[in-house]
Structure 1
Amino acid sequence: MLSTRLKKMRSSTPYTQAQLADTLGVARTTYAMYEQGKREPDHETLNKIADYFNVSTDYLLGRTDIPERTKEPTLKGWLRSENEDLSENERKELEKDIQGYLAHRRERILESRKNNK
């Protein structure tokens, strides 16, 4: 499972095995063996790979099919990942609108709570 996922994730980037291996601090031949399933990375390297691709180690190891880490998503992360068709300025404008809505909604919730006491 690890080898398949590594190949798929790396092929979605413009990087070669050598470039990724250099980023991870391993030899190209070592990284190539990870992708071939002939060798498994140690814990430190596995964490580096997960950080690089922004996935969980559970995803890399095949324990889940959900690549995202289980941390709470951020508004900026959502805007970047779900709105790739928008320009940076459009994403910033959308972020500002959403933050304004959330602030307004929070005020209404707090006001409602105060009135119900």
Structure 2
Amino acid sequence: MSKQTQNRIRELRKQSRLSQQALADQIGVFRNTISNWETGYSQISLENAKKVAEYFGVTIDYLLGSESDQT
């Protein structure tokens, strides 16, 4: 996963004032999964990228770093 994707997940979560646990609960994954995405330890699946993007109201392209505009 690109560093930009890691940073965007963390940035969106922090802007929303969510803990890793709160985001995990909202999208149906474990807290350590969120941590692994943010540190680059594991890749985010397309299915989970869709969930995260939908939750934060951004495009998947933005989340994955292929566009700079959130919408």
Same fold (TM over 0.5): yes
TM-score (norm: length of structure 1): 0.56
Is 2:69 the partner of 1:63? Answer: no
Where relative contact order (Cα < 8 A, 6+ residues apart) is larger, the structure is 2
TM-score (norm: length of structure 2): 0.89
In structure 1, distance between residues paired with 2:45 and 2:19: 21
One-letter code aligned to 2:32: T
Cα-Cα RMSD? 0.8
Q: Which runs of 5+ in 1 are unaligned?
A: 69-117
Q: 3-state SS of the aligned residue for 2:65? A: coil
Question: How far did residue 14 of structure 1 move?
Answer: 2.1
Paired-residue identity, %: 34
Q: How many residues are treated as equivalent by the alignment?
A: 68
Counterpart mapping for 1:88-99 below 5 A = none
Q: Which runs of 5+ in 2 are unaligned?
A: none
One-letter code aligned to 1:55: V
Encode CA deviations 1:40-65: one digit per residue, 9 max, x unaligned. 22111110000011000100111100
Q: Identify which of 38, 42, 54 aligns with 1:51.
A: 54
Q: Which runs of 4+ in 1 moved over 4 A?
A: none
